[in-house]
Structure 1
Amino acid sequence: MVQQSDGLLTLPEHIAHNLEKRLSLRTFSLPFTPPTHQYWLIWHPKYEQDPATSG
């Protein structure tokens, strides 16, 4: 959606750089230091043995 619009998306830098490599996007640093943010990945225990979630 962002690729086909003039929209702006703010997301973690490592994700932005990964998308930039795969899509026709340009990344820019924010002109300020944002507060730190932590995020977690969670899923239902029934998917614990799912091959798609194993590392």
Structure 2
Amino acid sequence: MAELRLLDIRRLLPCHCTGPAAVARLWGQWPDRCEACPTGTVLTFGGRP
């Protein structure tokens, strides 16, 4: 968590492969930055899917 904090990540999208314990910790540390990422989610970066 300390190393992630250094990165100043704006959005976190933990998914099922992250594991329930890690997902819970991420949501606990950054509830305002986490978003649900269910299976089949398509992310777009720079206007490209």
Larger Rg: 1
- Structure 2 length as normaliser, TM-score? 0.33
- Structure 1 length as normaliser, TM-score? 0.31
